Structure 1
Amino acid sequence: MKNILLPTDFSENSWNAIKYALQLFKNEICHFYLLNTYTPIIYHVQYVLVEPAQFGMLDSIRETALKNLEDFKIRINKEYKNPKHTIETMGAFNMLIPEIADVVENKAIDYVVMGTKGATGAKEILFGSNTVHVIKNVKCPILAIPDGFEFETPQEVLFPTDYQIKYEPHHLKPITNVSDLHQTRINILYLTYGYDLSKQQEENKKILETYLKKTAYQFHEVSNQTVEEGITKFQLKNHVSLLVMINNKHSFFENLFFKNTINKIGFHLKIPFLVIPARP
């Protein structure tokens, strides 16, 4: 059974991510945790110290959150009723990131699925800040669904890698799980700059092949392109419906997403993006 966490702020964006998760895992026995975190609009140390509940504000906020969670649960059971799925609602007086981290640890979560607004406006913000912080701080596979993306069976998955990581089962399991459910092919993309693979990279590539031996996969190499260019051009030539990366420190992944250029890069992700932590 899969344990899947669905953070929600009750927006259509978060509902879209929930729909995606329900359809992606429709043939899998799953326990979904529907989570909403809430804090008062005015939230500071003095407010907490004087027992906010005495003003009735916290009770009111909590009641609203629980009602909205129940409404979402009813909507799920109405529109996507599935005997293989159970839904549990969770309302928490906490900030989003630490609450997600706690739930991931305490409930043995396999995936966190959440929505993101994607690149919008002149600043070209790649993800909403919440999604970025979850990816950086939560040790769990994170599946980010772009705003408005309609579910389609992921027949082709794109997995860019630099072969700089010694692959272990927890790196590949989130990918092969999806592949097994939907008979997906994994396209492994290596961006080369004219240098041969090092001995360590060759060994890592062989390890990767071993883990994928029961899965449909294909290796690809492109030269003299940035990661953004390589991903974008591959998507244009092939009907890729899921992008997967391992968040390995000091790899191109970190350079692409977690530097100060995050609000400036012209890389508009329009497909779901699965980020797997290097360490569990």
Structure 2
Amino acid sequence: MMTIIAATDFSVLAENAVEYAAAIAKHKNAKLILFNSFEIPFHAANTLLPASSIQTLMIENEIRLLERSFALSYEYGIEVGHESAFSFIEDELKEVISKYEAELVVLGMTQKTLEQDLWGNTTSFAIKNLKLPVLAVPLHAKFEGTKKVLFACDVLRGLSKKALARIKEVAVDLDAQVEVFNVDQRLEVLRSEDTHSSVVNTLDDGLDGITYYYKNVKSVMVIREIEKEIKEFQADLLIMVPKKYGFWANIIHRSKTRVMASGLDIPLLSIPL
């Protein structure tokens, strides 16, 4: 049975992502694990609370998580477990994933802010560091049937067979159309017959059996073009594959996938290579 992990801090944003994850679990007959990384409230952290008071806060948090698990199990008819940790979520998430051999992590997608652009957040951390698909869900998104999937990529850097297999799996599971969308300054390279044939053959092999479209755009404004195409294609889901950079390149580059993981109106599925 597939296992999905949904992280929550009980905020409106996180709880919407939890509902989305529960709907996916019902659709796929999967097990859902709610994960909460308990942090002492700011006002409490700045006072000299006795150990017993902190323990009480942790127990109350555990009860809240347990009640949420029972409610989701009843509402969606799925198996729901829960895990909590007294630490930063980034430190514990990998251990929970390993414990349950999870195949998908679902997190809330924040609004775009300057702080998010500069430092990222838990979702961008997960996209960068986890070795399994991460689904970032914006505040008002509902799992009500995904019919159009936009796969934004750089075909000149190569198309991963693993990523294409995942995309095909998503499309078959949801009975959705796929648009492979490439944005590059070097679009003239694709006019080469050999390069074009190689790309088309790779797509035909990897996406055989599903309905897909292939579109190229020449532009230096990659993120803006993706946002524009989401609206034009009326996509329900955006899929991207984050690129891995070396240490020095990481200082210069910001992953487009991680930048896109905020401020969208549709969920973003990040598929690691």
**Unaligned regions of 5+ residues in structure 1, if any?**
43-51
Question: 1:246·1:277 contact (CA, 8 Å) conserved in 2?
Answer: yes
C-alpha change, 1:53 and 1:202, in structure 2 (3 Å) is: farther
Cα distance in 2, alignment partners of residues 13 and 268 from structure 1: 12
| 1:49 equivalent in structure 2 | none
Q: CA deviation at 1:254?
A: 4.5
Cα distance in 2, alignment partners of residues 229 and 11 from structure 1: 29
| 1:68 equivalent in structure 2 | 64
| 2:45 equivalent in structure 1 | none
Pairs within 5 Å for 1:137-216:
137-163=129-155, 164-169=157-162, 171-193=163-185, 194-197=187-190, 203=198, 206-216=201-211
Cα distance in 1, alignment partners of residues 139 and 28 from structure 2: 24
Q: CA deviation at 1:177?
A: 3.1
Cα distance in 2, alignment partners of residues 124 and 201 from structure 1: 40
Cα distance in 1, alignment partners of residues 123 and 25 from structure 2: 21
Which secondary structure state, in structure 1, belongs to the residue aligned with residue 208 of structure 2?
Answer: coil
CA-to-aligned-CA distance 1:117-141 (integer Å, 9 cap, x gap) = 2225xx3846961111111122211
Which secondary structure state, in structure 2, belongs to the residue aligned with residue 210 of structure 1?
Answer: helix
Equivalent pairs counted in the alignment come to: 256
Question: 2:242·2:257 contact (CA, 8 Å) conserved in 1?
Answer: no
Cα distance in 2, alignment partners of residues 147 and 95 from structure 1: 22
RMSD: 3.0
| 1:224 equivalent in structure 2 | 219
Among 101, 109, 113, the residue aligned to 1:116: 109
| 1:102 equivalent in structure 2 | 95
Cα distance in 2, alignment partners of residues 236 and 166 from structure 1: 24
Letter in 2 for 1:69: L
Q: CA deviation at 1:89?
A: 0.9
CA-to-aligned-CA distance 1:213-232 (integer Å, 9 cap, x gap) = 02221111122352122212
C-alpha change, 1:103 and 1:242, in structure 2 (3 Å) is: same
Cα distance in 2, alignment partners of residues 239 and 15 from structure 1: 25
CA-to-aligned-CA distance 1:41-84 (integer Å, 9 cap, x gap) = 58xxxxxxxxx998224422321221111121132134x322xx
Among 123, 132, 139, the residue aligned to 1:131: 123
Cα distance in 2, alignment partners of residues 268 and 93 from structure 1: 29
Is 1:56 the equivalent of 2:56?
A: no
Cα distance in 2, alignment partners of residues 64 and 23 from structure 1: 26
Question: 1:157·1:187 contact (CA, 8 Å) conserved in 2?
Answer: yes
| 2:85 equivalent in structure 1 | 92
Cα distance in 2, alignment partners of residues 95 and 39 from structure 1: 7
Which secondary structure state, in structure 1, belongs to the residue aligned with residue 244 of structure 2?
Answer: coil
Q: CA deviation at 1:248?
A: 1.6
Which secondary structure state, in structure 2, belongs to the residue aligned with residue 196 of structure 1?
Answer: helix
Give me the identity figure in percent.
Answer: 24
Larger proportion of helix: 2
Q: CA deviation at 1:204?
A: 5.6
| 1:4 equivalent in structure 2 | 4
